[in-house]
Structure 1
Amino acid sequence: MAQFPPVPDTLNYIFCNTPADFHNAVWVLRHHPYLILDCEGHDLGRAGGCVTLVCVGTPLAEHIFLFDVISPHLSRYDIDALLNLFNDRNILKVVWDGRMDYLELWSTYGVSLENVLDLQVAEVVSRGVVRGEGEIQRMKRLQQSYISTQVSDRLGARLDGLHAVIGLQRCWKECGFPAGNGKDPAVVKMHKSIGSRMWVERPLTEQLLQYAAKDILLIGILYAQFSKQGWIPRLPSDYYYLLGQCQRYVSAHREQGKSAAVDAFKPCQIMPLDVLDHPVGPKYRCNACHRYLSLATYETVQGVAPRQASTSEVPRITTLRRPRCRLCQILALRAGFRMDQTYLVT
């Protein structure tokens, strides 16, 4: 079991909802080598959703600031003081699954989250690189979390290179920390029963503020644990390659935008394609998720390109691809849609 750092029942935090609060907190945050970031809000990353609380901590969560970005006392100038930290490439931001945070900051404020270390990505990478997991474990994780054994048998090679991602609470337990010191189960249950509208209401309850602050602490503890276990590479070339994977991950759905809850192709518990491997060659737009992806992410065959009616050009052999990427093919099958039967010329 991991050596467990004590987690107090009540965390100290500073709630920021005035210009003075914002600028004082930003001054403190700028003097640290990295920041811990997490957002709360209503249906984060979904159409009609919004971010209402931006939570930022210093290393080891020694200082935790909860920024109320919907406070009526704030101007855009005040909020920009905070946002400038997030697109500053000289400041590392440590997150857990920053995809929805990225979408909200981009769609609401036009700010791109830069220089990100996403621990969810580091956990996936560590499975093979550090922990020695192979194809059997990869498939088992997919079957346990998102795809049934029956469906996975049918999909076959379409699942190549796909990885299931896990949540913060599950990782907390898998690292050997006591489950009871993780996320507040009462708030987790509240999310499941009534949704996330509670993050829009003001004043926020102390229970919700403690929940938000604790997420920062949990991410901070996991970051230290990952570093100790070697899940954060020490070799600079490997470390910067991981940062590239993390940047591709958090920004993966930028082209897709904020999707509706009923969208079968919305972000899910499978890591998007072209994240772990740096995409090479031309990119092609997926008809489902609208991402521009490398040819390796599609099912392909060699075929004859259609000849132009106005020319006598001899038909040429070329590579044909499905309209949907392999991940969207799987999501379509899961949703009960018909699988693509056509191919497009690359």
Structure 2
Amino acid sequence: MAGTVPYLICNTAADCHLAYQILYRASFLILDCEGNNLGRAGGCVTLICVGTPLAENIFLFDTLSPALSPRDLDPLWQLFSSPLILKIVWDGRMDYLELWSSYKVRLEGVLDLQVAEVVSRVTMRGEGEEHRLGRLANSYFSKNAVQKHGEQYEGINVLIGLQQCCQESGLGEEFVKDPEVKQMHKDKKADMWTQRPLPGKLLQYAAKDIQLISMLCTVFIQRCWIPSLPGPYNTLLAQCARYVSAHVEQGKSEETDPFRPTGLMPLDVLTQPWGLQYKCTGCNRSLSMSCYTLDDSDGFYRRRRTRCNLCHVLATKYRLRADPEWFVV
């Protein structure tokens, strides 16, 4: 599977019709989106990439094509919004935001491999609190902060990227993203996805992502990171649904927003939200009381922080001023 990845660019109604004939017969789909600053203010999706289970067929839907009418993409939206058709993704949060904000399409029936990877750390790999805190200290926060204030990081998990997961899964050097395109992303040249015609290098990069997600899906099944029993499997699907839709209430954020979606698992995702929910003044998400630090030191009132625990440690990381007030609950 090394080398060039075959794909079909769908920029005419005839191309889309051919793709739908194949996609509607697939047992499940692999999905990924490319675009200009996905999930950020002013961003947009310009290429929707969909593959069949083993990436035998990969279709790249060009949403900027002048030859496509809105009706030509309706069958695609029906696939995405159906809870009966499983969609495999890797970090579908920005894809979900863009599809909803641009097309009012809610992505349903999602299995996000990024969530499965995090869950597997405890359920299949036996990682405990020391491992979780170690990941935080070695990647996103300072070791000093985590060691001194470990209690503030309770329930916060580091996410890893698609490329890192491929490497850790031992897929081999041929299963890597194009370093040149990766560098272009780092250099904030995401508007490259709005160019037409799209360079072959970018089309190949998009198709490669579908292949990588497909390969990882096979690995996850083999390792039982995707449960086969109905109970754990349905629990994972519920976690994935909460994950990909986690930032809808927050909306598309500015690049400079310290509380924008990050490489950390949002709260109220791995555990089922319960009880009344309260809006965080940082991320603007409505979250369970368990996501906040409580204070009842005066013996009469019980108060909570205005920021959730995740936003609190992010504010500390970026040296923002502390919560201006506490809410009585």
Q: Same fold (TM over 0.5)?
A: yes
Pairing 1:1-346 to 2, within 5 Å after superposition: 7-302=1-296, 317-340=300-323, 342-346=325-329
**Offset at 1:12?**
1.1
> Displacement of 1:73 after TM fit?
1.3
Count of residues paired in the alignment: 329
* Cα drift, residue 178 of structure 1: 1.7
Q: Which moved more, 1:70-79 or 1:273-282?
A: 70-79
**By how many angstroms is 1:153 displaced?**
3.0
SS in structure 2 of the partner of residue 199 of structure 1: helix
1: CA distance, partners of 2:235 / 2:193 = 35
Over residues 210-253 of structure 1, what are the superposed CA-to-partner deviations in whole Å (9 max), with x where a residue is unaligned?
Answer: 11001000000000000000100111100000000001000000
Identity %: 53
Q: Secondary structure at 1:66's aligned position in 2?
A: strand
Runs of 4+ in 1 over 4 A off after TM superposition: none
Contact preservation (8 Å) 1:145, 1:269: no
Q: Whole-Å Cα distance in 2 between the matches of residues 303 and 243 of structure 1?
A: 39
Query: Is contact 1:42–1:199 with CA below 8 Å preserved after alignment?
Result: yes
Q: Normalising to structure 2: TM-score of the pair?
A: 0.97
When structure 1 is superposed on structure 2, of 335-344 and 217-226 the one drifting more is: 335-344
Deviation of 1:275 after TM superposition, in Å, equals 0.3
Structure 2 CA distance for aligned equivalents of residues 154 and 103 of structure 1 = 36
Distance 1:92 1:332, change over 3 A: same
Q: Secondary structure at the match of 2:187?
A: helix
CA distance in structure 2 between the aligned counterparts of 1:195 and 1:150, rounded to whole angstroms: 34
Mapped partners of 1:322, 1:43: distance in 2: 31
What is the Cα deviation at residue 181 of structure 1? Answer: 2.5
Residue 159 of structure 1 deviates from its aligned partner by 0.5
CA distance in 1 between counterparts of 2:328 and 2:69 reads: 50
CA contact (8 A) 1:22 1:81 kept: no
In the TM superposition, residue 27 of structure 1 has moved relative to its aligned partner by: 2.5
Deviates more, 1:281-290 or 1:74-83: 74-83
Contact 2:39 2:98 survives alignment (8 Å): yes
**What one-letter code is carried by the residue in structure 2 that aligns with 1:80?**
D
Question: Aligned partners of 2:307, 2:96: CA distance in 1, in Å?
Answer: 24
Quick one: distance in 1 between partners of 2:168 and 2:322?
36
Secondary structure of 1:36's counterpart equals strand
AA at the equivalent of 2:132: R
Cα distance in 2 between the residues matched to 1:63 and 1:253: 31
Residue type at the aligned position of 2:35? G
Cα-to-partner distance string for 1:146-176 (whole Å, 9 max, x where unaligned):
1111222343312001100000000001011
Q: Which 5+ residue runs of structure 2 have no aligned equivalent?
A: none
Contact kept, 8 Å, 1:303 with 1:320, in 2: the verdict is: no
What is the CA–CA distance in structure 1 between the aligned matches of 2:141 and 2:174, rounded to whole Å? Answer: 29
Rounded Cα–Cα distance in structure 2 between residues aligned with 1:193 and 1:156:
34
Displacement after TM superposition at 1:319 (Å): 3.0
TM-score by length of 1: 0.92
| Residue pair 2:28, 2:86 contacting (<8 A) in 1 also | yes
Aligned residues of 2:2 and 2:174 also touching (Cα < 8 A): no
Q: Report Cα offsets for 1:249-297 as digits up to 9, x if no partner.
A: 0000000000000000000011000000001111001011111100000
- Equivalent-residue separation in structure 2 for 1:317 and 1:280 (angstroms): 24
2:22 and 2:134 map into 1 onto residues whose CA distance is 44
Q: 177-186 or 197-206, which moves further after superposition?
A: 177-186
Counterpart AA for 2:244: V
> Residues of 1 paired with 2:144 and 2:173: CA distance?
31
Rg larger in structure = 1
Q: Is the 8 A contact 1:321 1:343 kept in 2?
A: yes
Deviation at 1:26, TM superposition (A): 1.8
- Following TM superposition, by how much is the alpha carbon of 1:195 offset from its aligned partner in structure 2, in angstroms? 2.0
CA deviation profile, 1:48-98 (whole Å, cap 9, x unmatched): 110000000000101000000111111111122211111111100000000
